[in-house]
Amino acid sequence: MSPSAPVVATLVDDFHVVLPGVRALLEPYRSRVVLVELGDALVEPRSVDVILYEPVRLSQSSHSMLRSLAASSGARPVVYTWREHSAQGAPAGPVVGRLSKSLTGAQLVAGIEAVHRHVGPPPGPRPTVDRAAHAAVVARGGAADNGLTPREAQILALITQGYTNVEIGKRLYLSINSVKTYVRGAYRKIDVERRTQAVAWGLQHGLGDAEMVRQPTGTRAS
């Protein structure tokens, strides 16, 4: 790769709605980082510089593709996840670091570039100890400004993490109709129409922390 060429990254993540969101996050920085489809990376592995992967709920077939790509490309694998401790048992061999899905586009680009330069990713945001304060900070950073209720922000967080409506309903003990109602309300408030747009919005506004999926105070399952 020439000094002026962008870093080429690919994503291995079984939450398929995450890919369009990450692509939208990186699009303004395409002169620095290019995200290629996993299928294209497997066809031309030597073109790949950095492999982002989510170890949570990764299928055996994805494990195999990750191992194969890491071996054939020589690319540097880095965990890309919401969870604080997800690098253990990495299927691709040595992992060079971890990047949080709560990073902004600029932070993610800087992290990918740091991995490619073999200096490791910059530290991600540290989770706060006070859970209630943390939820409030996250809400102020994106949810509250758009008029989202705690439940709507919670459901957007799960959508951003790749959960389906059915999975969200089971996790929060809500009927599927209730989930759909909350989703429609949230989409209207953040001015999106499609799930991929909601994922991109969630990535940009930090609605992916595990604390956002706790049962909101004063809410009841319906």
Full-model pTM: 0.56
Residue with tokens 């956002």: 212
Q: Give per-residue pLDDT as tens, 61-112.
A: 888 889 889 889 888 888 888 775 544 444 545 556 788 888 888 889 998 9
Residue with tokens 């690919």: 10
| Domain definitions of the chain by residue range | 7-116, 131-213
Residue with tokens 């570039």: 113
Q: CA-CA distance, 209 to 157, in Å (whole number)?
A: 7
For residue 132, which of 70, 58, 26, 209 has the smallest C-alpha distance? Answer: 209
Q: Give per-residue pLDDT as tens, 17-53.
A: 788 889 988 999 999 999 999 999 998 999 999 999 9
Beta bridge partners of 98: 79
The topology (CATH level 3) of 7-116 is Rossmann fold (3.40.50)
Q: Are 46 and 88 in contact (CB under 8 A)?
A: no
Structural tokens at position 62: 């994805």
For residue 74, which of 100, 54, 55, 92 has the smallest C-alpha distance? Answer: 92
DSSP string of 52-82?
EE--TT--HHHHHHHHHHHHHH--EEEEEES
Q: Compute the CA torsion angle 128, 130, 132, 136 (nearest 10 deg).
A: -40
CATH class of segment(s) 131-213: mainly alpha
Q: Compute the CA torsion angle 170, 11, 146, 148 (nearest 10 deg).
A: 10
